[in-house]
Amino acid sequence: MADPFQQARESISRIPLPHINFTTAALTTLTAFLLWYTTTTIIQYRKLSHIPGPTLASLSLLWLLRTSSSTKAHLEFFDVTKKYGSIARIGPNVLLTDDPDLLRRMWAVRSDYKRSRWYKSLRLNPKRDSVVSTIDEELHNTLRAKLAAGYSGREVDGLEARLDRNILDLVGLIETKYMTANKPFDFGRKIQYLTLDILSDIGFSDRFGFLEADADLWEYLETLEKNFPTAMMLTVLPWVVELLGSPLLASLMPSDKDPIGIGRMIGVTNEMVAKRYVVGDEKKVVKRDMLGSFVNHGLTRDEAESETVLQVVAGSDTTAGAIRHTMLYILTNPRVMESMRREIDSHKLSWPVVTDAEARDMPYLQAVIREGLRMKPPITGVMLKDSPEQGDTWKGVYIPPGTKVGACVYGLLRREDIFGDDPEQFRPERWLEATPEKRLEMEGAVELIFSYGRFKCLGRNIAAIELNKTFVELIRRFDFAIVDPEKPWKSRNAGIFLINDFWMRAYPRAVQTT
C-alpha cells in the first residue's frame, strides 16, 4: 500500500513556486518608501509653506530633533522668532510662537486647541499618566479638580510653618557647616535639597532629609540631570516613550524597585502613598497635607502614585531654578543687593522667618522676583498643542487643522514691545517705573511662564511663597561671595535649566534686623 504522506509530499513538490528576486523586491520596497516619503513631505511642506522658518525644519524633523537635544534649545527657538517672526515654522507640521495673545487663546479654558502627544514624553511613571502627561481632556480636567485644593495649600495644616522650618534648616546648614569653617559650598545643590525637603514636608508630612544628610540621596539629582536631555529629545518622538512603556520594554524604564535615581524616588513616593490606603483605594491614614487632600478629593491609589512623584520632580527643579538664577543676578548687581537690603531693613519683619504676607508687601522684592523669572523662566519647553479640527486664523495667518503649535516663552519675555528697549538687562526697576497699565501687561506676560487657563500650573501659589521667604532670609542673614566670578556655574538647558557647581562662600552680615 502506497504511503499517503509520501504521495502528498510528491504532489506538493510538483506545484510550481514563483521565483523571487530578492534584489528586485528590495528595490521595489525602497522605491515605494521613497515615493511615499516624498509625497507626504511635499504635502506637509505645502500645508505650512505660507509660514517662514528654517529650511530644514520645513522638510524634516531633523532640525527639531537636533535643537531639542541640544543644551541651548531656548536660545535657538528665540533666534527663530527674532528672524522669522512671532509665528514661525520649526517642523514639517510644527509652529512656534512668542505672541502672548495667541498663547492665551490656545490655553484658554474653552479653547479648541488640545494637548498634543508632546506631553506623553513627560510621563515620569512609565506605567501610567499624570495630570501633566495625559492628553485625554476629560481625564486632565478631572485630575485637576481633585488636585487643586492640595496644591493651593488651603488643606495643608501649618503650610507656612512647614516652609519656615526647612528654610531654617538651610540657614543652619550654611551657618554651622560652611560659614564658621569658611568652606565653599555648592549653592545650587543646597537649594535643590531645600525644595525637595519642602515638597516632601507639605506633601507627605515626612521630609526626605536631603538637608539633614547634606547629600544627593539615592543619586536622585545626578540621575535626573543625566536623563533630562534625552527626555527633551523624546518630546519630538513621543511614540518612543509610549513604546518604552509597553510590557516588553518596561525593564528599560525607571522602576520603583531601583536602588537609586528616579526609580528610587518613585519607590519612596509609592511607599508614602501606601501608608494612606489599606487595600486598593480604601483609605487608611488621613493627614492634613497635600497627599491627604488628594485622597480626600477622590484620587485613587494608582493616581496618587503618579501625582506625588510628579509633584516632587516638577515642583522641586522649577522652584530651585528660579531661586538659583535670581540669586546670581542679585549677587552680580551690587545696586540690586543694596536696594533689597534697604527694603528688608526698613520693614518690621517677623523673626526668625518672614511671613508670606509681609514679603508680598515689599515692592522691590516682588520686582526682583518677577525680573528673575523673566530673565530665566524655570520651564522653556515648547508645550505643543494641536490646532482645532476646523483650523484657526490668527492676525491674518492661517493655522491648518492638526498643526502643532508651541510656545517660545524665553522669546516672549524678551519682547521689546512689552518690556522696553533693554529686555536683555536684569533691571527690577522696570516694574516700579512702569505705568499701572504697562505693569499689568508685563505681569500678564511673565505669568505665562506658569501657563494659563485650564493648563495653569497648580503649584504656582506654593512656589511664590517659597521664593518670598527664601530670598529674604538668605539676604538679611548672609553676605555671599561667588568663588569663581568668571565661571560662576555650569549651566545647560533641557526644557529646564540644569545648574552644577554654583560654588559660594557665606559670611555673616555686618548688620542684621532681628
Is 70 exceeded by the pLDDT of residue 305? yes
Structural domains of the chain, ranges and CATH numbers in brackets: 123-377+413-508 (1.10.630.10)
The per-residue pLDDT for 232 is: 87
The per-residue pLDDT for 26 is: 73
Residue that the C-alpha cell 549677587 belongs to: 331
Q: Cβ(254)–Cβ(263) under 8 Å? A: yes
Q: How far is CA 441 from CA 372, 416, 422, 431, 436, in A?
A: 17, 12, 16, 11, 9
Compute the distance between CA of residue 141 and CA of residue 125 in angstroms, rounded to an integer: 20
Q: What are phi and psi of 140, to 5 degrees?
A: -60, -45
Q: Cβ(102)–Cβ(413) under 8 Å? A: no
Choose the weakest-confidence range: 300-304, 363-367, 435-439.
300-304
Structure confidence at residue 149 as a pLDDT band (50, 70, 90): very high
Is 90 exceeded by the pLDDT of residue 45? no
114 alpha carbon, distance to own chain's centre: 19
Q: How far is CA 114 from CA 128, 131, 383, 385, in A?
A: 20, 14, 11, 5
Is 70 exceeded by the pLDDT of residue 12? no
Structure confidence at residue 187 as a pLDDT band (50, 70, 90): very high
Structure confidence at residue 36 as a pLDDT band (50, 70, 90): low
Is 70 exceeded by the pLDDT of residue 125? yes
Is 80 exceeded by the pLDDT of residue 88? yes
Give mean pLDDT, residues 347-376.
98
Q: Cβ(292)–Cβ(286) under 8 Å? A: yes
Q: Cβ(399)–Cβ(389) under 8 Å? A: no
Q: How far is CA 331 from CA 226, 322, 478, 483, in A?
A: 28, 14, 12, 12
Nearest CA among 471, 461, 509, 485 for reference residue 191: 471
Q: Cβ(489)–Cβ(188) under 8 Å? A: yes
SS3 label, residue 95: strand
Structure confidence at residue 292 as a pLDDT band (50, 70, 90): very high
The per-residue pLDDT for range 155-183, each reduced to its tens digit, is 999 999 999 999 999 999 999 999 999 99
Virtual CA dihedral for 26, 32, 37, 39, nearest 10 degrees? Answer: 160
Is 80 exceeded by the pLDDT of residue 510? no
* Binding annotation: 457
Compute the distance between CA of residue 137 and CA of residue 454 in angstroms, rounded to an integer: 10
Compute the distance between CA of residue 372 and CA of residue 321 in angstroms, rounded to an integer: 10
The per-residue pLDDT for range 376-418, each reduced to its tens digit, is 999 999 999 999 999 999 999 999 999 999 999 999 999 999 9
Strand partners, 91: 94
The per-residue pLDDT for 121 is: 86
* Binding annotation for heme: 457
| % of residues, the chain, pLDDT over 70 | 93
Compute the distance between CA of residue 73 and CA of residue 82 in angstroms, rounded to an integer: 14
Structure confidence at residue 32 as a pLDDT band (50, 70, 90): confident
> Is omega for the bond preceding 100 within 30 degrees of 0, making it cis?
no
The per-residue pLDDT for range 312-327, each reduced to its tens digit, is 998 999 999 999 999 9
Take residue 29 and report the three cell numbers written for it: 520596497
The per-residue pLDDT for 455 is: 94
CB-based burial of residue 286 (10 Å sphere; 0-12 exposed, 13-18 middle, 19+ buried)? exposed
Give mean pLDDT, residues 32-50.
77
Is 80 exceeded by the pLDDT of residue 98? yes
Sorted by sequence, the CB contacts under 8 Å of residue 138 that are 6+ apart come out as none
Is 90 exceeded by the pLDDT of residue 283? no
Give mean pLDDT, residues 259-265.
94
Is 80 exceeded by the pLDDT of residue 29? no
Query: Maximum Cα–Cα distance for the chain, whole Å?
Result: 115
The per-residue pLDDT for 110 is: 93
Compute the distance between CA of residue 150 and CA of residue 324 in angstroms, rounded to an integer: 26
The per-residue pLDDT for range 461-500, each reduced to its tens digit, is 999 999 999 999 999 999 999 999 999 999 999 999 999 9
